[in-house]
């Protein structure tokens, strides 16, 4: 295993840092630790696993009832050397926790792409989001991988990738039930669907968007709201963005929809040369925009800012005067494995992300947005209690290296942040573990914000990536795990995870 043992790893960039610190120094020609084939949350597995009644250290709280789900790219067939770790078929996993017991199960999200490749016994979609490179036999077929995030909709797991419609899976068995899920025909079967939809905190309805909505390179973004029980589209509007770039996430409050445009820009010439969809334009500006939810989008206003990237939203709110958008921000290309448009080498420092708060006055009079650093934590995958997606919130959670220690020697931590006091607490898992993004599980459907559990996967770098699910008291993360679910194998790769409360399972 090419893992850089002795370096606790979190997130996308830790990979690169670990490689940097590995014996032999920074050899950029091999996969960084944390990337597939070398260790950590992106390491491929390819085996579907079923284990009932997992071994547990400590005690699973009797009240904990629900499922922890996650997905990540786990390529069916080897990637081309210039492909990236964000490509590969989505492998979805579930830890079903009930009555103090834990059942573990993983299944591939079997979209058209998976099924066609399975039949052909080779890769037919050889390059990340590049239809020019597709095998001619798959023309017009879905490119959906479901490798980025999962949500629960009407008792189904929807496996998401932002260039395609969801792949629907059974909540209990993870068998694929719909290779191209269109919400019963509400969204076109060619409609891209974000990997980061929001659940309205007041109604439970689903807010989503799709960028490049009118085909490859389109500057149209469609934004919509879908009824949680009927799957009917309640509202939709189309807006235009200042330029075509990766819009990985967004924000929704009670009244507003927010977008942050960053210069990870579409690069069609690069695609035609056989490369990936994106390159980083270091001369590009950022634009934060908002408009009224439920309207026609004509009130959309953009506020300019310097070259930055922000990929993941932690939470959003407004105070009647200003709109606040909490996100992780990098100074440069957030993904060192994606090319820079000017051909410059990967910039690992510029890829470190820190939690920031973007704000703009609601009166629309400002020209640019304000930005303030919230925490010294390098946390590319921040989360909140998901019941607070569209309302003011207090607590955030993330995996990050210990900020008190030099990055290359820092252990991997889970952090709980209190936005009200601007303080945080850490549990440091040590330097021989790679931690994937944690999720928050409320004690019950109605318990106050932040009361519950924080859980996530710990990949043991010194045990051939054998993995544990660690469960912490979310109000006392610094005390460490109260229960550890021990898998005998490596957990499947993970980008994002989801907690489904027990009361949301179909009866």
Instruction: Decide: is 17 part of the binding site for ligand V55 (CB under 6 A).
Output: no
Contact flag: residue 147 with ligand V55 (CB under 6 A): yes
Contacting residue, 68, 69, 86, 303, with ligand V55 by CB under 6 A: 86
Length of the chain: 507
Between 318 and 437, whose beta carbon lies closer to ligand V55? 437
Q: Which of 129, 201, 189, 195 is nearest to 158 (CA)?
A: 195
Residues numbered 432-471 forming contacts with ligand V55, rule: CB under 6 A: none
Binding-site size for ligand V55 (CB under 6 A) equals 7
Q: Which residues contact 199 (CB under 8 A, 6 or more apart)?
A: 151, 205, 206, 207, 228, 386, 387, 389, 390
Per CB under 6 A, the list member of 43, 191, 237, 311 interacting with ligand V55 is: 311
113 makes contact with ligand V55 (CB under 6 A): no
Q: Measured from the CB of residue 148, what is the shortest distance to ligand V55 in angstroms? A: 4
For ligand V55, the closer of residues 241 and 495 by Cβ is 495
CB 92 → ligand V55: shortest distance, Å?
A: 13
252 binds ligand V55 (CB under 6 A): no
495 touches ligand V55 (CB under 6 A): yes
Q: Which is nearer to ligand V55, 201 or 311 (CB)?
A: 311
Backbone Cα Rg of the chain: 21
Tokens 């908002």, residue located: 290
Nearer to ligand V55, 73 or 75 (CB): 73
Minimal distance, residue 83 CB to ligand V55, in Å: 12
Tokens 């105070």, located at residue: 319
Cα 263 from Cα 261, distance rounded (Å): 7
Of the two residues 8 and 73, which places its CB atom closer to ligand V55 in the complex?
73
| Strand ranges inside 350-460, DSSP E | 354-361, 370-378, 383-384, 395-401, 412-418, 423-428, 433-435, 439-442, 452-460
How many C-beta atoms lie closer than 10 Å to residue 121's C-beta? Answer: 8
Strands (E), 53-180: 55-58, 66-73, 90-98, 101-108, 149-153, 156-160, 167-170, 176-178
Residue placing its CB nearer to ligand V55 in the complex, 46 or 322:
46
Asked whether the beta carbons of 382 and 395 are under 8 A apart, the reply is no
> What is the C-alpha to C-alpha distance for residues 135 and 125, in angstroms, rounded to an integer?
6
Task: Select 309 or 467, whichever has its Cβ closest to ligand V55.
Answer: 309
SS3 117: helix
Q: Is 148 in the site for ligand V55 (CB under 6 A)?
A: yes
Interior/surface letters 276-306, b for 16+ CB within 10 angstroms, e for the rest: bbbbbbeebbbbbbbbebeeebeebebbebe
Q: Which is nearer to ligand V55, 309 or 431 (CB)?
A: 309
Gap between the Cα atoms of 65 and 499, Å rounded:
10
Smallest distance, ligand V55 to C-beta of residue 427, A: 23
Binding mask of the shown chain, residues 211 to 250, with x at each position contacting ligand V55 by CB under 6 A: -------------------------------------x--
CB of 86 to ligand V55, least distance (A): 3
**DSSP-based three-state secondary structure for 394:** coil
Q: Is 490 in the site for ligand V55 (CB under 6 A)?
A: no
Give residues 155-214 in contact with ligand V55 (rule: CB under 6 A).
none
CB 262 → ligand V55: shortest distance, Å? 11
Contact status: 73 vs ligand V55 (CB under 6 A): yes
Under the criterion CB under 6 A, does residue 43 sit at the interface with ligand V55?
no
When the beta carbons of 145 and 390 are compared against ligand V55, the nearer one is 145
Nearest approach in angstroms of CB 99 to ligand V55 is: 34
- Binding-site ranges for ligand V55 (CB under 6 A): 73, 86, 147-148, 248, 311, 495
């Amino acid at each position: 295993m090419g893992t850089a043992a002795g370096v606790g790893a979190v997130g996308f960039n830790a990979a690169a840092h670990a490689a940097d610190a590995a014996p032999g120094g920074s050899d950029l020609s091999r996969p960084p630790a944390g990337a597939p084939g070398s260790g950590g949350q992106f390491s491929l597995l390819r085996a579907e696993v079923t284990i009932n009644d997992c071994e547990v250290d400590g005690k699973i709280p009797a009240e904990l009832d629900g499922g922890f789900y996650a997905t990540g790219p786990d390529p069916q067939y080897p990637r081309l050397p210039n492909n990236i770790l964000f490509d590969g078929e989505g492998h979805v996993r579930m830890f079903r926790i009930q009555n103090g017991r834990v059942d573990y199960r993983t299944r591939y999200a079997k979209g058209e792409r998976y099924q066609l490749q399975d039949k052909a016994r080779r890769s037919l979609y050889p390059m990340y989001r590049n239809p020019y490179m597709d095998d001619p036999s798959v023309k017009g077929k879905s490119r959906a991988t479901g490798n980025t995030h999962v949500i629960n909709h009407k008792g189904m797991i929807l496996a998401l990738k932002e260039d395609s419609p969801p792949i629907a899976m059974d909540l209990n068995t993870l068998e694929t039930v719909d290779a191209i899920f269109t919400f019963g025909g509400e969204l076109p079967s060619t409609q891209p669907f974000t990997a980061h939809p929001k659940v309205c905190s007041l109604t439970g309805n689903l807010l989503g968007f799709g960028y490049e909505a009118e085909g490859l390179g389109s500057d149209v973004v469609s934004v919509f709201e879908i009824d949680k029980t009927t799957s009917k589209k309640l509202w939709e509007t189309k807006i235009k963005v200042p330029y075509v770039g990766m819009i990985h996430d967004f924000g929704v409050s009670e009244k507003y929809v927010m977008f942050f445009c960053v210069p990870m820009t579409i690069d069609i010439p690069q695609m035609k040369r056989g490369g990936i969809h994106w390159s980083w334009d270091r001369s590009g500006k950022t634009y934060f925009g908002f408009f009224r939810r439920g309207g026609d989008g004509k009130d959309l206003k953009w506020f300019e800012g310097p070259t930055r990237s922000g990929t993941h939203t932690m939470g959003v709110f407004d105070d009647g005067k200003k709109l606040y958008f909490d996100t992780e921000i990098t100074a440069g290309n957030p993904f060192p494995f994606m090319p820079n448009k000017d051909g410059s080498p990967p910039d690992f420092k510029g890829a470190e992300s820190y939690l920031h708060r973007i704000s703009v006055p609601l009166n629309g009079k400002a020209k640019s947005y304000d930005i303030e650093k919230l925490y010294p934590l390098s946390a590319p995958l921040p989360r909140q209690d998901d019941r607070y997606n569209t309302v003011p919130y207090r607590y955030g959670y993330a995996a990050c290296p210990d900020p008190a220690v030099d990055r290359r020697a820092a252990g991997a931590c889970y952090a709980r942040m209190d936005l009200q006091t601007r303080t945080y607490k850490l549990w440091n898992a040590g330097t021989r573990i790679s931690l994937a993004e944690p999720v928050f599980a409320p004690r019950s459907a109605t318990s106050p914000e932040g009361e519950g559990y924080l859980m996530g996967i710990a990949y043991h770098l010194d045990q051939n990536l054998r993995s544990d699910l660690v469960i912490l008291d979310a109000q006392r993360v610094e005390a460490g795990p109260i229960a550890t679910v021990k898998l005998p194998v490596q957990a499947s790769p993970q980008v994002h995870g989801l907690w489904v409360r027990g009361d949301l399972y179909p009866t």
